[in-house]
A and B are shown apart, each in its own frame.
Chain A
Amino acid sequence: MVKRADAIVVGAGVVGAATAAALAESGRRVLVLEQGVPGGAVSGASLACIGTHMMDEEELPLLTWCCEAWAELDRRAPRFEYNRCGQLRFLRHENERRSAETWIGIERAAGLRPELLDPAEVQAIEPGLTGPIVAATWSPDSAVVNPFLAVRTLLDVARSGSADVVSGATVTALVTRGGRIAGVETSLGRFEASIVVIAGGPWTQRLAATADVELPIVPRKAQCLATVGTRPVIRTVVGACKAEGGVDAGYTQIQQAASGQVLFNTVLEGGVTATGSPEIVPEVDRAFVRDSVDTLLFLFPALAGLDLLRSWVRYEAVTPDDRFLTGPAGPEGLFVAAGDGGTGFVRSLGMARIIRDRIDGTTPPCRDDLYDVGRFAARAAA
């Protein structure tokens, strides 16, 4: 086994896999260390929507770049069920209309093409959506991918460069020498590299702390449900309209995977699920199951007799402003790319690009200061 590499990436979720691919493509010998199995934590649990719709105004250029990068990856390696199916965000009440229109205005100004549809127009796109909604926004360019296969594809890209992937290696501490990063200690021994990128999701903060780097990341419970596979019944990604005024009134995502399984989740009550420990993965809670099934059947009443098959819970990494922490941190040679906030899949390729550009000293395609690792400390000081 390679005990020395140019760069070590800690974590083989989608962010780690994308970072490994980006670094391997720029010619580095990369070693990816994964404590569990690749994509086995929150990446694999993700509904992996690739889109720009109702996300974050300031991040729109980066999100647009990311969507194109995913489409490009699909052209190069079409092995992860990339499907540009479009995205609907339904409005349950008239008072959501203003928020929908505001988002549409912002996105159209950025050159995107979302629109507001009435229920009949919605049904023309999504015939099974017969529930009593008042309208829905439509973002035709949103896509979905199979999260496991996307991680696998990115690792394949990395491995076809010069990366190695080691599963079952828990990184316990960062190793520094003379104020520079020198490698990591793991359950399989020490690995050396002058560059270490922590892409460990909710575990990132604890590992960074071993080099006295404090990161404001908290783990938050993410839950999901899946039915048995069935004939095509849902064509698009269906979500709830994002509420006005920055207060998140909840979260819904519903889609049908290539396997035929309907994947869905709804979180009510402010849209924030309980924090917890990523070490102990609990079962889904009762209220979550109720709200998710209730919302699915409100929209798609014909699915009432379909069998539920599986549920899962993972922990996502959340930062105070819901944006990634991506860039250099602490000792020279240490980088961080974490803080998915539950929508990390689309952003992963952009975060990988920022890390690569920071290491290579090249210019990123979009502004990277939004993700500056030290931004909260700087704000607190100001």
Chain B
Amino acid sequence: MGFQKFARGTVAMALVMGAAAAAQAEPLKIALVETLSGPQASTGLLYRDAVKYQIGKINEAGGFGGEPVELLEFDNQGGPVGAADRVRAAISEGADVILQGSSSAVAGQVTEDVRKHNLRNAGDEVLYINLGGEAMELTGSKCHYYHFRTSPNAAIRVNTLLDGMNEAGVLGDNVYAMNQNYSWGVDVQDNTVAASDRLGFTVVEQTLHDVNKIQDFSPYVQRVQAAGADTVITGNWSNDLLLLMKAASGAGLDVRFGTAFLDQPGNIGNAGSVAEGHFLSAPFNPEVNPEETAAFMEDYKSVTGHYPSYVEPTTVFGMMLLQAALEEVEPTEDGLNAADLAVALENATAETPMGTIAMRGADHQAILPMIVQEVSKDAQYKADDTELGFVPIKVISAADAEQPVQDSCEMKRPG
């Protein structure tokens, strides 16, 4: 008797509590799984600033389902193992959307973890929004329905860079492809070679070198000189980019560099006048659409304390896409149905200061305008407290920047 009474009481309690929970929709939880400590933290913290900024905007606009969106922060400790752990933690704390961007190695882990979670937990899916992992395979062989990339990739970066430099008449006939020997560098090199016929230049030589190990680039600079190159196209980042440019300037070499990551904070400050006259293709420049952009720049600064640079604008724009998708989704009894959000996000477009950005349904790669820019003293906004900054040379519209869907992407759609 005693037990039955107890059991009946418990069931009644559970019913009451369940009803109470249903009456109020659960707030949407978004988890940022970024590198927030250790040597790679500087980039991770930029993603965090940008995500916090735009989530603030989403909440100012009413949040989701009448509740403010909650941001959970997880430190992936810089590697895939920590990321796998934090993705699980995020999901068990009720996150419906996972954000990450600072490393393709981590992105590869997160996208697979999300895919497997969704396979095993049908009806309780989560979304992964890749804010900056630019490796081609993330929208190629590893593409899946719940992964969305809001940053450009190697193909977009290289082709827009070459187009912009070509139209500005600074590309020259002889191009040298100098890249780091791993998947990213290989992607950049392949795309450079593939564009040569279209734009009518010759790739005089291709070099793949060790990643972040070389201290002296002068032998490589000599090869550039011997090959008679007008332009060096490189996907190098961090030290490999700085040391290469410095070695070229030290040898008095008269070539232009076309790069992907020259705007990383610290690069211009470190390179100084060596960086002047080199090129970059990125999804943002503060001098494009001056009125709207200046308002965005100042607003961002008033919230975070600094002007947006490097990955921050792209991250904000990616979050705008998410915001646009959230506006299309009706909250259900237990908060957000991630499958609905995926449908909305596939067709989402957002108006950014740089123009309209959109998500492509076929491989979930964002289609966004790219700006080819040159390092110059004439820039309105200076980088790293130097007298240099980035001057836009050519704005490439989202439609022109678009690159074909990779054949390796076989996306399985639900239903």
Q: Do A and B come from one complex?
A: no
**A residues whose Cβ falls under 8 Å from a Cβ of B:** none
